Amino acid sequence: MVIFHRWKQRNNLIHIHTSIPAATVFYGIDRELINIISARRLKKPFNALMAMWLHRFSCRF
């Protein structure tokens, strides 16, 4: 997932000549992690992960 966002940043620099702000990249990673955790929240290893993620990384962009 992080590799995808880094690759997207690289492609934007090469092809479009624009840089994605770091806050936007981090927001995309954060949203993707929340979506993954939400999709798996009913499975035992993931049932407390959303609360932990939101508690530790409560600073939203």
Residues 10-58: tens digit of each pLDDT: 999 999 999 889 898 888 888 888 888 888 877 777 777 777 777 776 6
Q: Is residue 5 part of a domain?
A: no
**φ and ψ of 35, to 5 deg:** -65, -40
Q: CA–CA separation, 22 vs 30, rounded Å? A: 12
Q: CA–CA separation, 61 vs 59, rounded Å? A: 7
Reported pTM: 0.63
Q: Is residue 4 part of a domain?
A: no
* pLDDT per position as a tens digit, 46-56: 777 777 777 77
Q: Is residue 2 part of a domain?
A: no
Domain residues for the domain of 42 are 20-61
Q: How many CB atoms lie within 10 A of CB 12?
A: 13
Q: Is residue 1 part of a domain?
A: no
Q: Is residue 53 part of a domain?
A: yes
Q: Is residue 45 part of a domain?
A: yes
Residue 40 has which token pair?
């798996």
How many structural domains are present in the chain? 1
